[in-house]
Amino acid sequence: MRLILVLVLLVLFFFGTILFWPTSDVAEYDVDEEKQNILLEGSDFLKEDSIETNSEQRHELMKQEYEVLEKERRILKQRLGRLKHHLYGLKFDKNKADEMREILLVAHKLIKNPDMLGAFSDVESISNEVSKLKFANKSLDHISEMIQEKKSNKK
């Protein structure tokens, strides 16, 4: 048992020295890095400036698209509130009620815990969220029609 332990420790020590033993190649790399730094000094500033301007432009575009997203969320929230008001006291068949419930739950999930601006990586992801909200708003048209039918049949 001790022999196995000693062998394992020797193997670990051997591989540890191979991996972490300092080499003399450091001086050669330093010279190469100095040459590279001299060549890249001017281009680093240009790259950083272009990255910053691209980042600022992207952020501004994302802000504008996020304002559209907030507007669509507000519209959907108001529409859900109106439908809730109109649905109060109405009774539907089980199949229609289940269909309406599914549509309303999907729409409610979109506005329940909204993603903030930082949760989106680019303008396209915000646009996708806007299209989801518009689709949910269009699907609420079906519920509005069902409510109108029920109210017209009731009178």
- The residues spanned by each domain of the chain are 46-154
The SS3 call for residue 122 is coil
Distances in Å between the Cα of 55 and the Cα atoms of 23, 64, 101, 115, 125 are 41, 14, 42, 20, 16
Those residues of the chain that have pLDDT short of 50 are: 31
**φ and ψ of 20, to 5 deg:** -110, 10
In this prediction, residue 76 carries a pLDDT of 92
The whole model's pTM is what?
0.60
In this prediction, residue 135 carries a pLDDT of 92
Distances in Å between the Cα of 4 and the Cα atoms of 13, 14, 18, 40, 72 are 14, 15, 21, 54, 69
